[in-house]
Amino acid sequence: MSALAQLRDRGLHLSAKDGALTVRPREALTDDLRQVIRTNKDAILRDLAEESARSTKCQRQERIDVATRMLHQVPSRNRAFVAGEETGDGIPVTVVIRTAHGMITCELTIAKEHWSPTLFLQFLQQQDDGLPA
């Protein structure tokens, strides 16, 4: 069993940011658990990063699936987008574009202060207006 799993089994929640671990609830930490964290910090950080990457990939795939269903429901529509939950980098936005050859997907990250779903939709509609018939 990994150190991360052992710590979670003890009721601890661990998160990482910029190489630093945060453990909650702090009052549940014993000296023995602190030693486990010190000894296994690199492995714990690696495991947390892998979990985060898997989660991000799953969330992206969910957005692709939703946008693709939107296009299937409205055959005249050529583009659809789904915005995700804000991350430290901004708002992840998945765009699916229907072409004669199939679906194309792309992922954008837009800074929260620049994100406007209405303006983004208007932009996509302007792009549709310019498509050849």
| Predicted confidence (pLDDT) per residue in 74-125, tens digit | 998 888 999 998 887 899 999 999 999 999 999 999 999 999 999 988 888 7
Average pLDDT over residues 59-85: 93
The residue extents of the domains of the chain are 3-54, 59-129
Average pLDDT over residues 56-70: 94
Query: Which position has the higher pLDDT, 77 or 129?
Result: 77
pLDDT for residue 128 = 62
* CA-only gyration radius of the chain, Å: 21
Confidence class of residue 56 from pLDDT cuts 50, 70 and 90? confident
Alpha helices in the chain (DSSP H): 3-9, 31-73, 117-129
Confidence class of residue 133 from pLDDT cuts 50, 70 and 90? very low
The two tokens of residue 127 are 């792009």
